[in-house]
Structure 1
């Protein structure tokens, strides 16, 4: 036996090392792009619009999309500086749609999410939204979560000035509708009124 023989050492072929490195970089880049697009704490759950979230309801603590499973859900974005002549009718029609559908045995959760969480705390939302639509669920959250949720639901993020000089976020031009399983079902113009909202839910429920 050759006692001077150098012991074998394990080594990784350069080609395998390169493949592993490329895969690691690709996964890191994909993870970064997903996080950048959707936010680390928001999941699309396979939806083209909408996803999971954790927001704050009026005096009731955190709510998630899971709290509304089993109900049709309407999601609309606004803020409390929006002129009531502009946003009030939307809140009222969503609230009235809930009452109409409830009388038919159809569960509906109309959610109104603020685009201005730094100023719209729970009390502000309550004072603004509930007199206009007492069956609407106003929601707020951390600025980062609101930003991510707004992106998921394709809500605009644009400030405009009202006639009194006060700035407010452009309210979402469309209401997003999620089905009772939490899946994206469709959208509808936010200004259509109660009757059309109810009809839209009937159409989607029949289609499902």
Structure 2
């Protein structure tokens, strides 16, 4: 092989290597720019996405209700069961009273009750229970899997607790979750929270 041939081969090899380096540099730069253009979630946005998500349930009329069904209006969602002796009826009565206190603005958000007791709370049972509170409330139930899914989405705790006679009660999260019209978490209302504070939160929600 001649010296000229060897030099020509080395020159071609150098060109190929430099082209490869240039392509790698351009690709890395493009990926960097794409990452820079993606907006980072703010702490508030991250917090807003921490609660809520996809679910499919059935309301007290037998209608299928999903997270998309609730879109378009803010809502206050609470988890409990119809045989709850204290927290559930107290919370729902309070939400009904707050809505009434808000006047016309009280019609601008939905109240949603999710039963975590599918064994006992059928759609008809939930409908009769919610009628007692004198205000429109969307009642949701479903299979064990469906309830587990929505509870996980809202990070809600619930567990059966056996009682004498072979029956059971249910321990569960007692907070009301306030969600905006896009299904994003806004705040909670604690069952021991001052009424004025709870009212202000609902006013900000709508």
- The TM tier, using the shorter chain, reads 0.5 to 0.7
Q: Is 1:91–1:132's contact at 8 Å kept on the other side of the alignment?
A: yes
The residue that corresponds to 1:149 in the other structure is 150
Provide, for residues 66-104 of structure 1, a one-character-per-residue CA deviation record: whole Å limited to 9, x for no partner.
Answer: 222222111111012211x33211111122333444613
Secondary structure of 1:159 counterpart: strand
TM-superposed CA distance for 1:182, in Å, is 1.3
The number of aligned residues is 159
**Structure 2 residue runs without a partner (length 5+):** 1-47
Deviation beyond 6 Å, 4+ runs, structure 1: 162-165
TM-score, normalized by length of structure 1?
0.66
Q: For the residues of structure 2 that align with 1:63 and 1:114, how far apart are their CA atoms?
A: 14
Aligned residue number for residue 200 of structure 1: 201
State how far apart, in whole Å, the 1-side matches of 2:131 and 2:164 are.
Answer: 24
CA distance in 2, matches of 1:100, 1:60: 30
- In terms of fraction of residues, the more helix-rich structure is 2
**Runs (5+) with no aligned partner, structure 1:** 1-45
Superposed counterparts of 1:97-176, under 5 Å: 97-101=98-102, 103-104=104-105, 107-160=108-161, 166-176=167-177
* Max Rg structure: 2
Equivalence for 2:91: 90
Counterpart check, 1:48 vs 2:50: yes
The answer to whether the Cα contact below 8 Å between 2:110 and 2:137 also exists between their aligned partners in 1 is yes
Q: Provide the alpha-carbon RMSD of the alignment.
A: 2.6
TM-score (norm 2): 0.67
Q: Once the 2 structures are TM-superposed, how far is the Cα of residue 131 of structure 1 from its aligned partner?
A: 0.4
Shift of residue 113 of structure 1?
Answer: 0.2
Alignment partners' CA distance in 1, 2:188 and 2:83: 24
